[in-house]
Amino acid sequence: MKNNHTILKMLSKSLNGYESTCWLKSENQLLDGQTPAECMLEGKGSDVERILPQEIKRIKSRKKTN
């Protein structure tokens, strides 16, 4: 459960609520097609935590700047 708390903390510091929710509920190839939320519920938070920095970087790179 400590991993889950760390994941949510990292998400809240790095992405807005909508982006975080979308990412948590989207199937992810880096997690063998599971959603990050599913992995967290199954006790695989360490897998989610491992990919999180690169995923945050990927999501932020898609943001449009005005």
For the stretch 43-58, pLDDT in tens is 999 999 999 999 999 9
Q: Which of 44, 36, 31 is nearest to 8 (CA)?
A: 36
Task: Identify the pLDDT of residue 2.
Answer: 83
Model confidence at 23: pLDDT above 90: yes
Q: Rounded to the nearest 5°, which phi and psi values hold at 43?
A: 80, 20
What DSSP letter does each residue of 26-53 carry, written as one string? S--GGGTT--HHHHHHTT-HHHHHHHHH
Task: Find the mean pLDDT for residues 15-22.
Answer: 97
Model confidence at 66: pLDDT above 70: no
Half-sphere exposure of 17 (CA within 13 A, CB side): 0
